[in-house]
Amino acid sequence: MKLLKLATNDGRGIYKTAAIFDAWVRDLRDHLELAEMDLESSYAIIWVGMYLKDGTKMLHTQFRANEVTKHLGVEEFLKALRQYCIPFTSKETLWNEFQAIRQTRNGRTLPIQEIANKIKQYPMQLPRISNWQCYHQLLEAMDAPLLQAVRLFINEDIEWDKLIEQCEIHDSVRKINKHSAHSSSRPHQRPHPQSKPYTPMLPSNSSFKPNHRFDRNRKPTPSTSRFTKLTQQE
């Protein structure tokens, strides 16, 4: 089985984020397990060094050279690496991010399912976050109309999956009603004017006379004679 190449951790940028760092560590452990390599062996600690760079590589070199740590395995090195990469204030930063989650931000409204998934990611990074805190943070993140609609159907004891199901139902109804109201508020389009029946244009020549041969409603016109009847006086 061919393994995907493990990313190189340089201790900067994304690797200062706890979630990214922990995901990288999980991938590293998976590679070592699939290779059936003992985490306490010197081979494993050497192999880990192949996926470090710059500052983290220097830390790895010092860890192997130090008389106190050079006999320790991968697990102890990963603890030292985490302290090197993750700032001391990372927990406070994560907690502030958790409390700042909102369904609508900068005019963009996200589905409540995405908000719930985002909230549930934080307890994996901050184990002190409880289910009770996740429940109240979800209520805090909801838009006011959705919270008002769903409030009677949920409580603190409801299971998380059923909670999200109720929120999704009311969120979908709210979007449908909003779309219908927006459609009805649009101005109606003016109907297209009906086309007039076709009327042939007559030539502009004044000598043209229409043919009344088949016009039955035409009144007869008195004809003029070339001869004029004389009266007695004449």
pLDDT at 54: 92
Collapsing DSSP to helix, strand or coil, 109 comes out as strand
pTM over the 0.75 mark? no
Nearest by Cα to 32 from 13, 57, 20, 49: 49
The CA R_g of the chain, rounded to the nearest whole Å, is 43
Cα distance between residue 168 and residue 104, in whole Å = 15
- CB < 8 Å & 24+ apart, contacts of 46-54: 48/74, 48/77, 51/6, 51/7, 51/8, 51/9, 52/8, 52/9, 52/10, 53/8, 53/9, 53/10, 54/10, 54/11, 54/12
pLDDT at 234: 44
User: What tens digit of pLDDT does each residue of 204-221 get?
Assistant: 555 555 555 555 565 555
In the numeric block, which tokens belong to residue 211? 């043919």
Domain locations in the chain as residue ranges: 13-85, 90-181
Residues 175/191, Cβ–Cβ less than 8 Å: no
Collapsing DSSP to helix, strand or coil, 22 comes out as helix
Collect the ranges in the chain with pLDDT lower than 50: 227, 234
